Amino acid sequence: MKEITIEVDERKYPFFLDLLKNFDFVSIKKESKKDMIISIAKGMQQAKLAAEGKIKSRSAKSFLNEL
């Protein structure tokens, strides 16, 4: 099975989720608390490495412009 990530506007999320549930070939994976904690830990590790100069980071302005 292939996996994709899709970003959907919050206002359209319920509609989109209901739409996907109607396809028998689509399974919806919900992120568990464990997955969320692992993701946060990875982010913290990357922040530490960036602070130590071991990996490149980007400016806050660049990050905010992306949002």
Any domain includes 8: no
Report phi then psi at 10, rounded to 5.
-55, -35
Domain annotation covers residue 40: yes
| Confidence band for 2, pLDDT divided at 50, 70 and 90 | confident
Residue 43 and residue 49: Cα distance in Å, rounded? 10
What is the tally of structural domains in the chain? Answer: 1
Residue 36 lies in a domain: yes
Residue 16: which pLDDT band, with cuts at 50, 70 and 90?
very high
Measured CA distances, 28 to 5, 6, 17, 59 (Å): 11, 11, 9, 34
Give a yes or no: residue 45 inside a domain.
yes
Q: Give a yes or no: residue 60 inside a domain.
A: yes
Per-residue pLDDT, averaged over 47-51, amounts to: 92
Where in the sequence is the domain holding 42, given as residue range(s)?
A: 13-66
Q: Is residue 4 situated within a structural domain?
A: no
CA 5 to CA 32: how far, in whole Å?
A: 16
